[in-house]
Amino acid sequence: MTKCNDHRFFFDSSCHICKEEYKNLKGTNEVHIENCKKTNIKKEKDIKLKSYKEFNEERAKKLFEEIFLQYLKKGNMSEEESIKRSKIIIRKQCEIRGIKPWSWI
């Protein structure tokens, strides 16, 4: 099923992808579903071949600090929770790039 990344929280009637998603949810576009499956397979292959910027420990620490500060600025969670969530994001970035996480994570 296609999903619109631009309009996640509302339906835009002028957006082609939103209309397709609506048709798929209603089941009125059964033939198009087979075509989407073939397209999604191609997209998944393209995503796996995507190259990312170098993610070294220094860059990871800088990203961790920025994320941590953003969570603190929100003000709705404790410092420990901010640290925990920031580390989860850094681990996810390591996983995407196939890097073993550092000991401080």
Place of tokens 């191609």: 42
pTM: 0.49
Interval 19-50: pLDDT, tens: 777 776 666 655 555 555 555 555 555 555 46
Domain coordinates of the chain in residue numbers?
A: 1-50, 57-97
7 dihedral zone (left: phi>0; alpha: psi -120 to 50; beta) = beta
CA 87 – CA 100 distance, rounded (Å)? 13
Interval 79-90: pLDDT, tens: 899 889 999 998
